Amino acid sequence: PAVAPVAPVAAPASTLVSSSQSSNAAGRMQLIDENQKFNSAHFGPSLDQWGLADAGFGYDLCAVLGSQSTGKSTLLNKLFGTNFDVMSETARQQTTKGIWMCKGLKMNVLVMDVEGTDGRERGEDQDFERKSALFSMASAEVLIVNLWEHQVGLYQGANMGLLKTVFEVNLGLFQASKAKTAGAKDKTLLLFVIRDHIGVTPLENLSATIMADLTKIWLSLAKPEGLEASQITDFFDFMFTTLPHKVLQPAEFDKAVDALRTRFVDPKDPNFVFKTEYHKRIPADGLPHYLESIWEQVMTNKDLDLPTQQELLAQFRCDEIANAAFALFATSIKDFRKHIEGGSILDTLGADMALHRSTALASFDRDASRYHQEVYKRKRVDLLEKLNSSLSPFFLGQLKNLHRHMLQNFKRSVLDRMRTEPNYDFGLVVSSEKRTALAKFSAAANAVLLADTDWAVDEEVAQLDAEIQAISDTMRVEETKKMVAQIERTFKKNIGEPVEMALNAPGPEMWDQVLVAFRRTLEQAEATYVRKAKSFNCTEEENTAALAALRRKSWLSLRAKVDEQTADSVLAARLRGCFEDRFRYDDAGTPRVWKPEDDMDGAFRKARDETLALIPLYARIEPKDPAVAVQLASTEDDAELQGAVDRGEEEEFDFAQTLVVFSEARKAEIGTRFRKEADALYVEAKRSTVSSIAQ
């Protein structure tokens, strides 16, 4: 049936006011109807009837919140002389759902009472309960929170879930923008009225319990930007009072209500509730529009598509259960840290982590699965994520330790095998050790890889692979160097004798012999390199570079031999030898005994000049047959070599310069020295002739 705006004018039977309440000049009006529609048409006229149309700021607004049938309407009627519907003590008749408004008797107080359905349609009921609570909180100066004493400390009974939701939405919807623009926050008084107070537990204890619950709720709220650090007391003041049992102690109850009333009407009362700071500063004539706009915001707000009470409870409890499970879990995994951080590899880490995780989940499942299934499942996902992220550092740490361990092992094994296996094939050793290391790593890494995580080991395996490759590359370079050095030593050993022999028998083809020997020895060296380098998996470039270096070093080694064989004393001895061969021996190789008729001067000059002619031959490496000449690149002509010089890997190498054995100046010096020696030998020969004649 349609409900008239103001009873008793045209109210249906169920909402007729009793005669005791008809003394109130105007009855109650339904502000929000059972279809959640705001009754804008009758609000203005009602204000008129209540004589408040011209009250300006001279009125106050009060509302009530609390579970069904906790005596809210009874209290309001007693306190303010209003005529809200009261559930009959004998027949549980249906009251009309909605938000009702009434003016207090002989006071400019507008009182709002909420009627929910006491039915079984809990979901729908909760939707309206939340909307009306939010509306009341946003519009009233004083919000009476009505609860039984035995509900104190109970999450659901004491409306804590409802309050949490309403606090949260109120903060986001009505306070955030105000706090930003005005700076000053809009304060509301929450007056907790604890009903059926037996008296055993003092008010202070009850209020402390409620305050603690509220503070906890406030901490857990999702707060809008800029209000993250806000306190519950920034937006609410609190007052607590108790009332005795209305039926068992009717006289005390009435007395207590009378006392409570003075707080609403006597500004001199220290507990006066309508402090100016709670007033929303809306003139009475603007109230219809103002309240309608608040209701509209409440109705259109998406945040109010809120979880049901059951879900809220589930969230709260699942969080508690998850926290307890996690706390146990956290202590049980504590020991891993020092081992992992100390660089150890824990053999059973994977199994241990899995066990601790499943223990925590099992304990969560046992207690939490009884709650709202979707919430439970969602919270389980959250818990699993939290467990995983606590374990993840151990997983990563173990991988890091394994990684280091495998690298060390790899290096050690390769070196060991190279030491103990006499004819090892470097390439084979490296590839087999690498395979072993990677296989071991993969196995160990997979052993700590838990299911139901986003963990992966592929990247780690790839990285280890790359690092092992880098190490083997370095080892290969070292090994190649060692091999090349060995080849160079062999070359040096082999080139010595042919050079010495050729330089010992100077002649026009002296250098041809040297160079032919060089070529032959170098060819052997290169062949050795190519043969050995095969198993090293060297790149084409590395081979080209190594061979070029080998050629250069071989050449330098030849040059060193040449230098040694043309050092001052060696060369002087050689020249003297050549001279003596010519001067002191005849063509048949027989020692000469000079007779006076012999052309000793002529023989001397011939031997001396022939020997002198050898000096330019020694001075420069130049074969008679241009076909045997050696040509190597100089660092200057070869950009790549120059680059290597710049990087400090190679020395400056000027091939043309290396062909010069000694300079013009030294040529002259050697010549002069030789002449002196030759002259001395001549004088000595002359003397021997003279003395033989004298005999």
Piece of 64-72, 135-143, 380-388, 496-504 that binds ligand GDP (CB under 6 A): 64-72
260 binds ligand GDP (CB under 6 A): no
CA distance 494 to 288: 115
86 binds ligand GDP (CB under 6 A): yes
Q: Which of 39, 46, 70, 207 binds ligand GDP (CB under 6 A)?
A: 70
73 binds Mg ion (CB under 5 A): yes
**Which residue number is nearest to Mg ion in terms of Cβ?**
73
Site for ligand GDP in 156-195 (CB under 6 A): 195
Closest to Mg ion by CB, 21 vs 73, is 73
CA distance 446 to 632: 55
> How many contiguous H segments (helices) and E segments (strands) does the chain have?
22, 7
87 binds ligand GDP (CB under 6 A): yes
Cis peptide before 8 (omega within 30 of 0): yes
CA distance 154 to 203: 16
Closest to Mg ion by CB, 76 vs 325, is 76
Site for ligand GDP in 663-692 (CB under 6 A): none
State in angstroms the smallest separation of the CB of 113 from Mg ion. Answer: 6
Q: Which does 196 bind (CB under 5 to 8 A by kind): Mg ion, ligand GDP, none?
A: ligand GDP
Residues 6+ apart with CB under 8 A from 49: 6, 25, 26
Residues 6+ apart with CB under 8 A from 448: 349, 350, 353, 394, 395, 398, 399
71 binds ligand GDP (CB under 6 A): yes
Burial call 580-600: b when 16+ CB within 10 Å, e when fewer: bebbbeeeeeeeeebeeeeeb
77 binds Mg ion (CB under 5 A): no
Indicate if the alpha-carbon torsion angle 125, 130, 131, 132 is positive or negative: positive
State in angstroms the smallest separation of the CB of 234 from ligand GDP. Answer: 30
Q: Which does 89 bind (CB under 5 to 8 A by kind): Mg ion, ligand GDP, none?
A: ligand GDP
Piece of 102-110, 243-251, 426-434, 485-493 that binds ligand GDP (CB under 6 A): 243-251
Closest to ligand GDP by CB, 29 vs 256, is 256
Piece of 64-72, 147-155, 160-168, 586-594 that binds Mg ion (CB under 5 A): 64-72
Residues 6+ apart with CB under 8 A from 664: none
Residues 6+ apart with CB under 8 A from 160: 213, 214, 217
Q: Which of 125, 196, 213, 488 binds ligand GDP (CB under 6 A)?
A: 196
Per DSSP (E only), the strands in 37-174 are 60-66, 98-103, 109-115, 142-148
Q: How far is CA 384 from CA 314, 322, 445, in A?
A: 17, 10, 21
Q: Which of 4, 33, 55, 68 binds ligand GDP (CB under 6 A)?
A: 68
How buried is residue 436: exposed, middle or buried, by Cβ count under 10 Å (0-12/13-18/19+)?
middle
Structure tokens at 426: 């470097």
571 binds ligand GDP (CB under 6 A): no
Closest to ligand GDP by CB, 88 vs 695, is 88
State in angstroms the smallest separation of the CB of 120 from ligand GDP. Answer: 16
| Interface with ligand GDP (CB under 6 A) | 68-74, 86-87, 89, 195-196, 245-247
